[in-house]
Amino acid sequence: MEKEHKITFITKSFFEQITNKKITKKYDLCFNEQMNIKKIESEIKKATNVLIYDITYSEKEKEGKTININDHINKTGKNFLIKKNKVPVFIDISHLYDKNRAGIITTGLGNHYAKYYKEIEHPSSDLCLISVWCKSVNANLNIKGKLINTF
């Protein structure tokens, strides 16, 4: 039996919220522009499970509530699968996240989060980018996405 190797990511937006609101979550890596991509990709290749935390905004939910993700819509304007001057690679992301009966579909807004978060039901920032990137590095990963309501 292979030993479980788990990595927990948080988005940069989540990091900013936990700093401001004193939310506590243990994590291994914060997804941001300063990451050493090659080093982290070698860790992802060894991993069996990835857990990704991001923020959301919902007046219907209690602040601090954790919401499970079943799927996402990417409206960030970015996609790690599209690389300049390279042949496109097909990655099957039809079953990207471990499903949960109470899970929802989030809309990833990326840098547009601050402008549009009140207009979208269950918005998120970069969760969709991290999950697709992780799957492109290791197709056998089990990925769980979770949003924390910061209303």
3-state SS assignment for residue 121: coil
Task: State yes or no: pLDDT of 7 exceeds 90.
Answer: yes
Residue 107 token pair: 């809309």
Torsion angle, alpha carbons of 31, 136, 92, 97, to 10: -30
**pLDDT at res. 31:** 84
Q: What mean pLDDT, rounded, does the chain reach?
A: 88
**pLDDT at res. 85:** 65
Residue 1 in domain: no
Per-residue pLDDT averaged across 95-123, rounded? Answer: 95
How many domains does the chain fold into?
1
DSSP code string of 56-77: E--TTS-TT-EEEEEEEEE-SS
CATH code: domain of residue 23 = 3.40.50.1580
Taking only the tens place, the pLDDT of each residue in 53-99 is 999 999 999 988 999 999 999 999 887 777 666 666 778 888 999 99
**pLDDT at res. 140:** 93
**pLDDT at res. 21:** 67
Residue 28 in domain: yes
**pLDDT at res. 22:** 63
Task: State yes or no: pLDDT of 148 exceeds 90.
Answer: yes
Beta strand 29-31 pairing with 104-108: unpaired
**pLDDT at res. 17:** 81
CB-based burial label for 109 (10 Å; 0-12, 13-18, 19+): buried
Residue 82 in domain: yes
Taking only the tens place, the pLDDT of each residue in 15-38 is 888 777 666 678 888 887 667 778
- CA-nearest of 6, 28, 4, 10 to 129 is 10
Residue 23 in domain: yes
**pLDDT at res. 93:** 87
C-beta of residue 9 within 8 angstroms of C-beta of residue 50? yes
Residue 37 in domain: yes
Task: State yes or no: pLDDT of 43 exceeds 60.
Answer: yes
Percentage, residues of the chain above pLDDT 70: 87
> Which residues constitute the domain of residue 77?
6-149
CA 59, 26, 5 angle in degrees (round to 5)? 120
Residue 138 in domain: yes
C-beta of residue 53 within 8 angstroms of C-beta of residue 123? no
Residues 130 and 3: their CA atoms lie apart, in Å, by: 23
Residue 65 in domain: yes
Task: State yes or no: pLDDT of 1 exceeds 60.
Answer: no
